Amino acid sequence: MSNKRPSRAEPKTCKLPKTPMNEPEANTDTFAEMRKRLALTFVTPCIGRDEEKAQIIEFMKDAINRFATPVLYISGLVGSGKTLALRECCKTLQGLKTKQQPPFHILHVNAVKDIKGPVYFYNHLWQLLCGTLNLPLPATLAAAKAKDMLTEYFSTQRQTSPSIILCIDELDFLIKRDFSLIYTLFDWPTLPKSPLRVIGISNNMTLIESLQHRLQSRSVSKRVPFHSYTAEALKAIIDARISQFYQNLVEPKAILFICRKVASVSGDARKALEICSNMTLQPCQRRLTIADASIASQASFENNDVKHIQNLPHLQLLLLACVCKEVMVLNTTAGDLETIPQVRVDDIISRFYSSLPLVDLQKVCSDVLHDPCIGKEVYAPLADTIDAPSILEMIVDLNECGLLKGNGSMLNRHSTVSLGVHVEDVRYVCEHEERGTWLGDVLAVPIKKTTRNVSWDNTI
């Protein structure tokens, strides 16, 4: 990997190429209209996912007739069209309702937006079910009671009762320390008289494998993977939104340049739309070209992630490097270098303790002591007293600022988290930037994790 990296200094203005003679002119209003069509809120058909949508609709039709596999698991990286495809399938299925068809209801839950944490899931689902089926809803309801009522409902329905298709987005955010919620959720559709079928969406490609062998052995899940978009697919998505502007506002080659750039990095459709939108922000009265696309792409990929990582306190930087190392180990073990796996908090803490002998403890502890005159001999015992609750608190901080992704304040030693930034961004800071080169060995050396007596006082 090349050590060179584009400058992250964000220019106040982009120097755009001069307008050639005889170029068609464009105005600010038309650029604004193009940006409106490039926004994520602008609804368009889901393009390039016909095969995946066909599998989802087939599952939903079988679910209505109680023939389907109990769980459909949709996985794919961010911006691969999972949620949009499912919404379109739900809309299509609702349009196919007939008097001869068995009755059904489709319920939607976003585990991040709709509920505060896994503990609130049962209450939220019972409220959703009561609102859909006009069932009486108690004024107050404990989570355990809500769970029991849901289990009773799903196990006592007749064959003629309406089928229920539960669509859960961000499914991995429902994982608790012992996976009990996910097990219960996946068990409900297997009950003898259950009208329920579950469709789960997650960015985690290996979630089912992480649920030990309890679910795998039952073969309860069908999978529909959403692979990252190719440059051609990204181009088709953008063409559907702004092709009418190509003659006067932007060259098609400029759009293709952006699509190829995004496809080579992530295949994220949202990123491609963002760059195309940013390309139109600079005031100009001419048709946009590849030169403009190059400037917008460079500015977009020079995001603040690396700068944010560089500015972390040394202890948090070490911790983030440990998470990165765990991700690298898991990917190597699974033979999959593209997926961002979930990492257990216990494993991160073990990796942190194992990494301490490899780093400059004076740097690690400088954030604590703030005194350059203190002798180096005090740092080793100080580092050794960093307890597990302190490390967990740092994990929560990294989660809140977006460098890690987990269940927020619900994090505990049994939780799992994933990287919120690219592995390569962390590696770049740790291996090449002056701020983090003291961490290079943490990523380079195949560390054997330490088994250490950890005190979990004052933690969940």
3-state secondary structure 101-115: CCCEEEEEEECCCCC
Shortest CA distance to 163 belongs to which of 131, 188, 196? 196
Tens-digit pLDDT profile for residues 213-248 = 555 545 457 889 999 999 999 999 999 999 998 888
Lowest-confidence segment of 2-6, 141-145, 288-292, 333-337 by average pLDDT:
2-6
Could you identify the residue written with the tokens 């919120």? 420
pLDDT at 459 over 70: no
Lowest-confidence segment of 16-25, 151-160, 421-430 by average pLDDT:
16-25
Buried-exposed string 415-430: b where 16+ CB fall within 10 A, e elsewhere: bbbbbbbbbebbbbbb
Burial of residue 89 (number of CB atoms within 10 Å: 0-12, 13-18, 19+): buried
Q: Which residue has the higher pLDDT, 393 or 256?
A: 256
Tens-digit pLDDT profile for residues 159-195 = 888 999 999 998 878 876 567 888 889 889 988 889 9
pLDDT at 109 over 90: yes
CB 175 within 8 A of CB 118: yes
Tens-digit pLDDT profile for residues 427-455 = 777 766 555 556 656 776 554 444 445 55
Tens-digit pLDDT profile for residues 311-348 = 888 788 888 988 988 888 877 665 444 556 788 888 89
Give the three-class secondary structure for 73: strand
Q: What is the mean pLDDT of residues 34-48?
A: 90
Q: What is the pLDDT of residue 49?
A: 94
C-alpha span between 56 and 376 (Å, rounded): 61
Q: Which residues contact 191 (CB under 8 A, 6 or more apart)?
A: 151, 154, 155
